[in-house]
């Protein structure tokens, strides 16, 4: 065991941040292998369901999605990466990404003519749908082919476009996989069009699909968009790590830098973070910075905890809190008063002295913003782990009850 007079912050191995890859991607090897097998089956024209990762904020869905994309590219699969923001149309996000995929495929002699036809389909797709989706902006490399993906109907045109992408991918001996994050923000008609297009590609054994990630409500939203979606996708739940994997995520990065963490210190980090990957990185970072020497002790974790909580409050939690209306803040504070959840909608309305019906618009707004979701009918839960504790810190006492009154 090495001892340091000074724990160099420059060599701090932990990486808290939105989508920042951790130094040790612990506990995700099974799902990575499963997706890799599915994509290789797709490449060979074999039937295989695609995957939609679902889970709360802070469980590492984005990191895992990006790693699976790197795995796919290393295996020779053509990929594109899309993150869905609020208030952007899916066609606007797909068009430039599919253009890049087709341009890449056009460099392969066997696929060149098919990829060019795909680019012509893209030109028709973008020009016709520009009327309905004004945010479409994409460079056009070829003139449209009349009658190809240019009817102005999203479902039909997207199906025709993805079919051309799939044909080009098949000719190139590869698959084309769209890795799409934050899929829960896609509006239902656009989601339905995407599912329909993927279904048709599956029926024709074309190697094009989506690997997605989103909040827990994604499963229900996809099912509502198309009733047969469950036959196309599996929805593995990405949750907190189990304690052994959480321990590895904390201990191994320190060991790689020549430092050690005592077992009681590790146990305290696991208790404080509840094994959520993002929180593990936050506690690891601040504990490293505050420790004077190796081995890192439990007292170092205790001293670092206030800084870790403050950092989470000002970044991970606060950025979401600041997007809320006064009524939405009051709703979430009432939820927090009831505990971590899930909670019955009637219990929340009782806490606020309102009817369930009158709170419907507020609840719907919070669901749309990705702050809450409904695990079962009539239940409401936070999508952000430990957000109940944050709400109590940011709105202490009882003054919150007068917000929005």
pLDDT in tens, 154-166: 999 999 999 999 9
Q: How many residues does the chain have?
A: 405
CA atoms within 13 A on the CB side of 286: 23
Q: Of 10-24, 73-87, 98-112, 165-179, which gets the smallest average pLDDT?
A: 10-24
The CATH architecture annotation of domain 29-234 reads 3-Layer(aba) Sandwich (3.40)
Every domain of the chain and the residues it spans: 9-18+241-320, 29-234, 324-402
pLDDT over 50 (residue 380): yes
- Residue 247 and residue 258 in contact, taking contact as beta carbons nearer than 8 Å: no
| CA 290 to centroid of chain Cα atoms | 31
Closest CA to 135 of 96, 171, 100: 96
Stated pTM of the model = 0.90
80: left (phi over 0), alpha (psi -120 to 50) or beta: beta
Q: Cα separation of 361 and 351, whole Å?
A: 17
pLDDT over 90 (residue 210): yes
CA atoms within 13 A on the CB side of 210: 28
The CATH architecture annotation of domain 324-402 reads Orthogonal Bundle (1.10)
Q: Would you state the pLDDT for residue 19?
A: 63
Tens of pLDDT, residues 269-286: 999 999 999 999 999 999
In the sheet that holds 372-373, the strands lie side by side as 343-344, 379-382, 372-373
Phi, psi values for residue 204, rounded to 5°: -90, 5
Q: For residue 1, what pLDDT band results from cuts at 50, 70 and 90?
A: very low
Tens of pLDDT, residues 69-79: 999 999 999 99
Domain boundaries 9-18+241-320, CATH class: mainly alpha
For residues 229-241, give the mean pLDDT: 93
Q: Would you state the pLDDT for residue 18?
A: 67
DSSP string, 331-375: HHHHHHHH-SS-EEHHHHHHHHTS-TTTTHHHHHHHHHTTSEE-S
Tens of pLDDT, residues 354-374: 999 999 999 999 999 999 999
pLDDT over 60 (residue 4): no
In the sheet that holds 176-181, the strands lie side by side as 78-83, 176-181, 208-214, 50-54, 233-234
Q: For residue 17, what pLDDT band results from cuts at 50, 70 and 90?
A: confident
The helix/strand count (H/E) of the chain reads as 16, 8
For residues 164-183, give the mean pLDDT: 97
Q: Cα separation of 213 and 339, whole Å?
A: 27
DSSP H or E run through 303: helix 298-312
């Amino acid at each position: 065991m090495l001892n340091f007079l000074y724990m160099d912050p420059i060599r701090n191995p932990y990486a808290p941040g939105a989508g920042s890859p951790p130094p040790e991607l612990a506990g995700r090897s099974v799902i990575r292998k499963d997706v890799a097998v599915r994509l290789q089956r797709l490449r060979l024209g074999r039937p295989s369901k695609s995957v939609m990762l679902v889970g709360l904020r802070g469980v590492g869905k984005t990191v895992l999605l990006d790693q699976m994309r790197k795995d796919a590219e290393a295996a020779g699969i053509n990929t594109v990466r899309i993150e869905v923001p609020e208030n952007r149309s899916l066609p606007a996000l797909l068009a430039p990404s599919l253009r890049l995929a087709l341009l890449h495929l056009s460099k392969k002699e066997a696929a060149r003519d098919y990829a060019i036809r795909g680019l012509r389909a893209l030109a028709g797709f973008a020009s016709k749908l520009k009327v309905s989706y004004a945010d479409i902006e994409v460079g056009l490399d070829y003139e449209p082919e009349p009658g190809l993906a240019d009817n102005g109907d999203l479902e039909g045109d997207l199906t025709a476009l993805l079919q051309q992408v799939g044909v080009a991918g098949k000719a190139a001996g590869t698959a084309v996989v769209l890795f799409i994050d934050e899929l829960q923000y896609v509006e239902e008609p656009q989601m339905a069009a995407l599912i329909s297009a993927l279904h048709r590609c599956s029926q024709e054994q074309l190697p094009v699909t989506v690997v997605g990630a989103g909040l827990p409500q994604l499963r229900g939203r996809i099912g509502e968009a198309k009733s047969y979606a469950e036959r196309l996708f599996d929805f593995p739940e990405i949750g907190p790590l189990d304690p052994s994997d959480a321990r590895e995520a904390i201990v191994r990065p320190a060991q790689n830098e020549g430092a050690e963490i005592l077992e009681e210190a590790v146990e305290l980090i696991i208790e404080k973070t509840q094994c959520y990957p993002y929180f593990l990185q936050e506690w690891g970072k601040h504990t490293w910075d505050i420790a004077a020497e190796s081995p890192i002790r439990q007292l170092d974790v205790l001293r670092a905890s206030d800084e870790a909580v403050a950092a989470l409050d000002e970044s991970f939690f606060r950025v979401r809190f600041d997007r809320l209306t006064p009524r939405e803040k009051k709703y979430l504070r009432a939820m927090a008063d009831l505990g971590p959840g899930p909670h019955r909608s009637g219990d929340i309305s009782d806490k606020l002295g309102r009817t369930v019906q009158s709170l419907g618009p507020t609840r719907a707004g919070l669901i749309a913003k990705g702050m809450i979701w409904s695990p079962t009918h009539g239940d409401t839960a936070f999508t952000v782990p430990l957000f109940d504790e944050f709400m109590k810190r940011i709105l202490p006492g009882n003054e919150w009850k007068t917000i929005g009154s």
